Amino acid sequence: MVPSRERAIALLSAGLARGSDSGGERPGLVYLVATGVATDNTDGLTSEELQRAGLLPSAQHLSNPPTHRPDHGAKARPFLRARASRDSQMQAAARSEHHGGGA
C-alpha cells in the first residue's frame, strides 16, 4: 500500500531516513512519495531540485536495506545441519562434488 504524502513526510521527518522504524512502510517508497525523487536518482537533479525538503545526499540505503542472514542464529545452524543430513539428494551431490564429479 502506498502511504499518503502527509504520512510519508511525517515518517521522513521522524527519522525514517536515519534508520528509524518505518511503521511497516517500505522506506524507499516513503522517500519517493515524500520527496518526489527515487532513492537512486539524485544524479540528474538540478541545484534547485536538490534543495527539496527531506532530500538526502544519498538515499540508496532506503531501497537496499542490509540483508538478514538467518543461518547465523544459534538455533538455525543445528536445524540446517539436521535438515541437510536428511536430504539424500543433497548428500549425494556433496559427495560427487568432493570427488571431482561436479560440473
What are the pLDDT digits (tens) for 11-47?
A: 888 876 555 555 677 888 888 888 888 888 767 788 8
Query: What residue has cell string 518526489?
Result: 36
Nearest to 17 by CA among 48, 50, 59, 71: 59
27 Cβ neighbours under 8 A, 6+ residues apart: 16, 17, 62, 63, 65
Provide the pLDDT for residue 85. Answer: 86
Q: Indicate whether this model's pTM tops 0.75.
A: no
